[in-house]
Structure 1
């Protein structure tokens, strides 16, 4: 195996000539020859991926294929064994990308039980930014819930609060690690619509890890299928938004599902 250097590189401007139509705030991500080992276990192997600024990517695959590991590496929650992860600003943004520009939503909303919803969303924000947090809580439909404790909210409402907290930091990259997996079907659909709406409004780059192929087709511009640490297939989702589950939607859903089951 070639001895690749371990780096996380940050540039100021996009070298790639194409920008996603939604590249308002987002950052381009370039992943090159990425490897990740846990001891002798190889989780990711020679993974190469280019994500446009403002693009919405969904990553699917069987359990243990490396989906969540890839997200943690992008978020700098773990370090790769070899390879490079590069971030570049959208063309009209000159300042560089830092770890503060990346936010993660997990399946567990991770709200502090001893703080009310307003205080949870304001965590990590300077006092002048508290108004931003309140505005975001209004956007996610929690304006009337700001004084409640996390235990007083439903699961869907807690995830809305977690989304408001992430977006209050004005991220350029939002990483979504199965954030809707524990929700009931109706609440899940409502959250999908909310995430899509806020993504279109703010223009951040979004990467969603999900086991739900229908959810991937509903939200993503492109679907990445991982299999044992490799990219096994990619699917462009060339469907108009807002998406309806018509023949084209169902056909693509079945194509992606067949590919997942074949791995």
Structure 2
């Protein structure tokens, strides 16, 4: 797929930059600098907006001004209102917020919102509301947590399979967050935590769309064979790629380069130009996304 045009739509803007979130917890100054470098490197096509929790907004805003107020696209996590003070150069693209039960929050200015859901009955009711709102043309997606800083934050394969299958069934667009540091399922050597793989999730989404049994979706979520998963993806048609990305919209990761490096190593994309330019941040900002 590295020479196929299907790689571009499949992985476009797949990885939202969660550098300021655990376990990375980057300082705002570092997060902004690094994000702008991604934008001016070969990583740009794969990277989504910078995610900023509302509790760190002031830190981010001050760092942004210190860097000369570059053009920067952000998503505010933990609310559905635009912060009262938005420095020149920052564009708020949307919001992310946990939603325990319907109704869905109304995002300010009609901006997109990702509603974080749980895997229980109430959470799936919210997911159904997301599907209904999206069908009506609202800019809304679901959001499901696949990891965290504690072992209890990692849902098992049957739980993830059930959420993916339900999202496909009701036609709810869904993003994932936390723990997806690599393409393929792995055990963290430091913590012993079992991490899901984002490539596993992409394949699981396609299986669900094809009507696969939950047991088959569970099996692929547990696979640690990256080449098998990569070969499956290489065989997809343009229609399959489009269907998968309509459901699986993106995932947040505190280390953007790791998942992209995995795609290169699996032969799914060509190695991006990774040498960052030496020009100043102000010059980098002028080449920020439209």
- The TM-score, its normalising length taken from structure 1, stands at 0.34
Q: Larger helix proportion, structure 1 or 2?
A: 2
Report the TM-score when normalising by structure 2: 0.32
